[in-house]
Amino acid sequence: MTSSLAYLGLLVILLTLSQANILRLGCYPSRPGGDVLLTNDFMSVEDCAAGCSRTYKALYALAYQYEYWNAELQQSDIRSVCLCGDTLGPTLPGWTYLNGCPAINYPWEPESVTEVWLLQTTFTRLGCGGISDYEERSFTEVDEFENCFAQCRDSEYAYVDRLTLEVGLRCSCSNEPVHSIIDNCQGADLQGFNWMIFQHPPGSSGAPSAWVKRQLKERLEKEAGLRAMAVCPQGLTACRTSPGDDSSFECLDTQSELESCGGCIHGVLGQSDDMSKADMDCSSISGVAPDGVTCLSGQCLAFACEEGYNLKSNQCLHVG
């Protein structure tokens, strides 16, 4: 019986740690991302967030309204837009996290306002307040909330500075509650309580798993690209000699190499094929005579054609 209760308690803890929250990130001065139009019909921001999470398993929901001229009704009308996406980009100047964004974007206003929600995180927002040990505390500048949540993965609290930087946010982590919650982030005087306060179970994955995987993939590809640049002389690219095989490569000038013109035909050493493969083998172009083509500045240029083809603008065009 005791072991069963212990197991049940452990299960409850694990479920709590793995639970994903829907977290409001605030008002952005422009539409920062989103590529799936969920609806043009009116829906609440909360319904937009729930729909993006349920229907598309997206990381973000972005909602805004704008005024437009309805030709059918011959009058101005309001359109609601809900977008779902997996990328957001750096937090831009002018971002705020007031609980209510301006309702409508008018065409004469220079910037639109979009309400943004993060759909997968273990953090919840407690409110806004000051930090008691501000003078002694260390901070890091991050591009977006998820960087801060990932950085504070093993801490109970994450503090995000809402004072405007050129781009991005300031982040600090703590295992102790060194904050004083003053309000619900609606205040206008940012100097008095400029920190947005988040809390989660320490050790749980603060950043969305899909975001973490994307960051890791980008970092590994960047590191692989740097390694590939290091193994070849300047001006040459480390090209695989066979698809998907990083065990052998050759250093090529892709600006003049006939069989890898403009890019590595089997991909760059250490990078994914999707990112680096370029199918530009000039010698395999239809209609080009043997030794009748060259690679110049990364482009295949024909100067002699087989029978049945005419040469026009350095291309061999079929006569038919």
Per-residue exposure over 231-241, b if at least 16 CB sit within 10 Å of its own CB, e if not: ebeeebbbbbe
Per-residue exposure over 189-225, b if at least 16 CB sit within 10 Å of its own CB, e if not: eeeebbbbbbbbebebbbbbeebbeeeeeeeebeebb
The span from the CA of 195 to the CA of 201, in Å, is 20
pLDDT digit string, tens, across residues 91-133: 776 777 666 676 666 655 555 678 888 888 889 888 888 888 8
Local structure of residue 152 (DSSP, 8 states): T
Whole-angstrom CA distances from 18 to 184, 204, 207 are 26, 7, 11
Find which of 145-154, 181-190, 204-213, 242-251 is predicted with most confidence, using mean pLDDT: 145-154
The span from the CA of 52 to the CA of 34, in Å, is 10
* 268 contacts 284 by C-beta, under 8 angstroms: no
- Token representation of residue 223: 């590191």
- pTM attached to this predicted model: 0.54
Is 70 exceeded by the pLDDT of residue 235? yes
Domain boundaries, the chain: 18-121, 129-207, 219-280, 282-320
pLDDT digit string, tens, across residues 55-90: 777 888 888 877 777 777 888 877 778 888 887 777
Give pLDDT, residue 39.
66
Averaged pLDDT score across all residues of the chain: 74
* 116 contacts 32 by C-beta, under 8 angstroms: yes
* 294 contacts 251 by C-beta, under 8 angstroms: no
Q: Where are the alpha helices (DSSP H) in 158-281?
A: 209-231, 273-276
* 43 contacts 80 by C-beta, under 8 angstroms: yes
